[in-house]
Structure 1
Amino acid sequence: MPGRLCITLLFLLITGLFFYSSLGHSRQPDQKSLTIAIGLENYDFKPLFAQFTKKTGIGVKVVEFENNSLKSELLLRASNNALPDGIIVPADYMGLTALDLSEVPDDWLSTHLIDQVRQNIKANGTTLGVPIVFGNQLMLYYNRALVSEPAHSWQQLRTQQQKLGVNISWNYYEMYWYRAFLGTFGTSLIIDGNANLDTPAMVNGLRWYKSLKDEAWLDVECDYDCTVNQFLSGEVAYTINGSWMFQRFSEHFGDKLGVAQLPSLRGEPMRSYFSSHVMAFPDNALSGSKSAELRTLSEFLQSLPVQSNLWSSINALPVDKRALDMLKIQGIRQVEALISTLEHAQPMPNEAQMAFVWEAMLKGLTRHLAGVLDEHQAAHFMQHIVEKSISYEQEKKPGQ
């Protein structure tokens, strides 16, 4: 009898433990995995996603695209109803209305955002992204093994070319680069919500940019990947590229990597755009079934521990003022140089019209470079194209 009693009690104990174990497991909420799209040439966020999954149990599948095809891929997916749960992109992507981005509630945003960042996360007056890193500006990288002191002006750079045989490269036909040259002459591309391309500044910018091609300052047919490889191989001593390339260049060159402000022209600084990289939510994802997981990821990426480690993990500047202040007082030479390149940078407009502005500028510039239009005609042509494109977009009806 005692033996049967022990066996019975043991059976009840085991089944009870199984029941409570099953009950406890059933009470755990089902964790949904997230799909996030990013650009390959931008910051490497995958280690941060791995930390997030380890901490929360929420998986993150990363979909990577080449930078020059990221926008078109997202728009294609939008037309096929196949958008990811989130995208990490430069802030100007928020102007792509076809992505149907969710408005981000104010209480999703950190209360410690840098003022410049807070002003750069709205498109047409609406907050459509959660900022993660800050910068995205173009700057002058140089190889210290080839150049001991960087050129501070285009006149100095020409002298170095002639005396030392050093060369420079940049993505000549990419409008984000051209805009930095245009910025030397002032005037915004958008004023009061209207495209502003047919200006004396554009005429001067076109004239100067064409002269750089005509005077053989660089191989203008060398595209983005080509310019990166030229710099990495030592074929050129200088390259103009973005803050997103700092990590890769730093890993390759070590202490031989130099960073400087873009060269001035007759005392006037070049003015690159700057922006934040934001996480945005296409296809109105915040109204969907994964809203809670997306908020958890947003809070994680904005948290002080993550923001404080952005420089050491991906060589990016944080959007959290506390983290940036802590970074500044560490006296890291490369950080100081990177921050200094923001001195003359200007915030990039996030209005939807910018997509048409970039396209119109490229069409006008290529016709000017080919000799089809002079600089005055090209500026007028740009304005005509952008106004026509915007008008057509506004006239389109839903579903057309």
Structure 2
Amino acid sequence: MKKKLLAILGSILLSTALLGVEVQLWEKWQTELDPTYDEIIASFEKTNPDIKIKRVHYEVEDLRYNFQNAAFSGNPPALVVGPADTVGVYATMGIIKPINEVEGFDKSILKDILEQGLEQLTIDGELYGIPEQIGNHLTLVYNKKFVKTVPETFEELMATDYGTEYKLVYNLNEPFWGIGFLAAYGGWIFDANNNPTLNTDSIKKGLDFMKKLKDTGTVPAECDYVIADTLFKDGKSAFIINGDWTFSDYAKVLGDNMGLARVPKVEGGDYYVPTTAVQGIFVAEGLDSDVEKAAAKFLAYITSKDVQLKITAKNKTLPVNKAAANDPAVTNDAFLAGSTAQMLVGKPMPVVPEMRAIWDALRPGQEDIMSGRATAAEAALNMQKIAEEKIAEMNQ
């Protein structure tokens, strides 16, 4: 009987060893990028047969909400992908682990990663994530079939007949797109002490200009992300303002007719100023030792030169690995050169927890002015009020 029990126990232990370690990875990657990441995960698993990466996709807000709930319930995924502006919230909540404390993490790889990528995931001197992509910025994408000369100003864009139903499309009511217009007039969302600055003349001018683009028919009256994307792909708009995550998709549709350029200067102001950010991968707190070590291995793998070049080649996003960023495959690519030029004149996305309050304040203000429910002055005043209230709630 004793021998039989030992045999059963040995069989169980062997089965467990064969199963290996499962690392849950929750992400919000664009679905068109799935094949690239699935290929990378499969390659990693082949090299590390004792580790299984289970990828789970969520939309941005669902990912944030579900990760927080899972973390507080004591059952988080090992890894979670997110934009840089989530790091402040997650770190304050204590649900992600400082990278230097991650068991099995090879700190030597940090020297291979672009400094600006690491900086955006650092809070009070502590690194809380590893950048996986850099940029995440909006750029002017155009169809060369209709555009022979790229306009330097919005006045020029608005005055030119491109032979399309619409001249420009973008996600009209989404603050991530709107913030570039606000900054083009010299305004910004925070002061030096991270106090909201949404009720200023610069912000009001930016709101008025966005309304003008709609009122003049330059942009469709009803234009969300899906509508903008569809109109541009169907050749009904000459231009679209969209992010670097869409470049590979547009290249498939437009081929050699796809062009990238800096978003033009606004009327009476300066160039549109997109926010720039890294997309980070964070390690959850409270993991088992073997899971944490396996997660650390995946972080090193996905930031390696060869893997970063593969992501860049397939997705047309900018790499975070220094050697990959300086590789001729990147430096000689016209699309990536245009994307880099726009990124370099962007403004880094603040990574402080108060950024959540800013997004919550900008959205209703932008919607109100676009719908005609408020003037720019009224919208700016209300946005400032909401931001201050939200930040006060956070600090209670």
Choose which of 36, 43, 48 in structure 1 pairs with 2:40: 48
CA distance in 2, matches of 1:27, 1:142: 54
Indicate the SS of the match to 1:48. helix
Indicate the SS of the match to 1:194. coil
The one-letter code of the counterpart of 1:177 is W
CA distance in 2, matches of 1:138, 1:257: 15
Deviations along 1:44-102, one digit per CA (max 9) or x if unpaired, are 42222121111112211111123464434444545665532211221112133358222
Pair 371,99 (structure 1): closer, same or farther in 2 beyond 3 Å: farther
CA distance in 2, matches of 1:75, 1:230: 36
Q: Give 1:338's aligned residue.
A: 339
The one-letter code of the counterpart of 2:169 is S
Pair 29,273 (structure 1): closer, same or farther in 2 beyond 3 Å: same
CA distance in 1, matches of 2:46, 2:114: 28
Deviations along 1:185-240, one digit per CA (max 9) or x if unpaired, are 12332232322222222111112112222222212422111211111111212111
Choose which of 90, 97, 100 in structure 1 pairs with 2:95: 100
Aligned length: 373
Indicate the SS of the match to 1:35. strand
Confirm or deny: 8 A CA contact 1:74 1:83 kept in the other structure.
yes
Q: Give 1:229's aligned residue.
A: 230
Give how far 1:27 is off: 11
Confirm or deny: 8 A CA contact 1:307 1:320 kept in the other structure.
yes
Q: Give 1:270's aligned residue.
A: 272
Give how far 1:285 is off: 4.6
Q: Give 1:16's aligned residue.
A: none
CA distance in 1, matches of 2:124, 2:221: 35
Give how far 1:126 is off: 3.5
Confirm or deny: 8 A CA contact 2:154 2:264 kept in the other structure.
yes
CA distance in 2, matches of 1:329, 1:37: 28
Confirm or deny: 8 A CA contact 1:285 1:291 kept in the other structure.
no
Indicate the SS of the match to 1:146. coil
Alignment of 1:284-303 (within 5 A): 284-285=285-286, 289-303=290-304
CA distance in 2, matches of 1:182, 1:207: 10
Residue identity over aligned pairs, in percent, reads: 23
Choose which of 279, 282, 293 in structure 1 pairs with 2:281: 279
Is 1:33 matched with 2:22?
A: yes
Q: Give 1:171's aligned residue.
A: 171
Is 1:393 matched with 2:394?
A: yes
RMSD after superposition: 2.8
Pair 40,319 (structure 1): closer, same or farther in 2 beyond 3 Å: closer
Indicate the SS of the match to 2:173. coil
CA distance in 2, matches of 1:313, 1:56: 23
Pair 214,74 (structure 1): closer, same or farther in 2 beyond 3 Å: farther
Confirm or deny: 8 A CA contact 1:123 1:352 kept in the other structure.
no
Deviations along 1:123-158, one digit per CA (max 9) or x if unpaired, are 455322111111111001111122233222201211
- Provide the TM-score with structure 2 as the length reference: 0.85
Pair 125,378 (structure 1): closer, same or farther in 2 beyond 3 Å: farther
CA distance in 2, matches of 1:220, 1:70: 30
Pair 213,26 (structure 1): closer, same or farther in 2 beyond 3 Å: closer
Alignment of 1:132-211 (within 5 A): 132-161=132-161, 166-190=166-190, 191-211=192-212
Confirm or deny: 8 A CA contact 2:324 2:330 kept in the other structure.
no
The one-letter code of the counterpart of 2:273 is R
Indicate the SS of the match to 1:241. strand
Pair 111,271 (structure 1): closer, same or farther in 2 beyond 3 Å: same
Give how far 1:364 is off: 2.1
Confirm or deny: 8 A CA contact 2:166 2:220 kept in the other structure.
no
Structure 1's unaligned 5+ residue stretches are 1-21, 396-400
